[in-house]
């Protein structure tokens, strides 16, 4: 399934509150709880990180657990 507008809204809220990459396990758990392919979520966060770096925004290398 594709990411719904509410999924995207939630992902953006997560990213804006903490612009780091969550752990792989927590990303996959988040995706599974919403019936989304974990690969889509991995790609979404990787894209955000890439775009932030291109814009010169600092992104911490440490990860964290999604709630």
In this predicted structure, the answer to whether residue 1 has a pLDDT above a threshold of 80 is no
Position 28 scores a pLDDT of: 97
Residue 12 lies in a domain: yes
Considering only residues 32 and 2, tell me which one the structure prediction assigns the higher pLDDT: 32
Position 59 scores a pLDDT of: 84
CATH number, domain with residue 15: 1.10.10
Residue 35 lies in a domain: yes
Please give the residue range of the domain that contains residue 23: 5-54
Considering only residues 1 and 14, tell me which one the structure prediction assigns the higher pLDDT: 14
Q: pLDDT tens, 5-59?
A: 999 999 999 999 998 999 999 999 999 999 999 999 999 999 999 999 999 988 8
Q: How far, in Å, CA of 38 to CA of 29, rounded? A: 8
What domain count does the chain have?
A: 1
């Amino acid at each position: 399934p594709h990411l719904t507008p509410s999924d995207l809204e939630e992902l953006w809220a997560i990213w804006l509150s903490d612009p780091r990459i969550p752990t792989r396990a927590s990303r996959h758990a988040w995706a599974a709880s919403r019936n989304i392919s974990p690969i889509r979520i991995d790609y979404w966060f990787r894209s955000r990180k890439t775009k932030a770096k291109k814009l010169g925004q600092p992104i911490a290398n440490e990860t964290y657990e999604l709630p």
